[in-house]
Copies of this chain bind each other. A is one copy, B any other.
């Protein structure tokens, strides 16, 4: 992807993560193209890429739609994150340089300091960046590539199934994980990372279909 496409890609991705583009919403090529002042060609390229990352779903001859993860898909995302992040944090314990540890600590501190006076979306962005930094330190580019996509999807999942834990708790977890990495304690770091992810997933509120149908009839019979 060239500079132009990367800009379009970033903007759409951010809009999805920040819920400016909601799940199931159609992304019409012509509209996007006009808003960026380009032809449909680069827009189509970007949408295809986003589809490969599962942030949008392309239906042949119908168009591209913002992804709407099912409970099952959300569960798959978290399972894969647990597998990858547990291994990534272990490798990070082995490989982190002094400079990388410094940068990681800075990210935790930034998260802690900007607790209250910051936008909600900036907060989840920073939280995701912490996880990605560990993937980067782990030194295998697949950790980064895969987790970048999985973390983006996590943001969408959170937007659908309710916010996860308090920001405070997440920061605290990150702080603990950082300490474990700094101490090169693989076992502890892995356990903390795993608990952190389990905690995130447990805070989701899946409304099952029956419940949803029930509330639908409620809506129509109510007034």
Contacts and interface: CB of A to CB of B under 8 A. Distances in A.
A142 interface: yes
A76 B45 contact: no
A76 B140 contact: yes
Nearest to A52: B52
A141 B80 CA distance: 10
Nearest to A41: B41
Question: Chain A interface secondary structure, helix, strand, loop or mixed?
Answer: helix
Contact of A140 (B80, B141, B143): B80
A42 to B, nearest CB: 12
A83 B79 contact: no
A176 interface: no
Nearest to A142: B80
Contacts of A161: none
A76 B88 CA distance: 13
Nearest to A51: B1
A163 interface: no
Given A77-B142, A83-B83, 10 more contacts: A45-B48, A48-B48, A52-B52, A76-B140, A79-B140, A80-B142, A80-B143, A83-B84, A83-B87, A142-B146
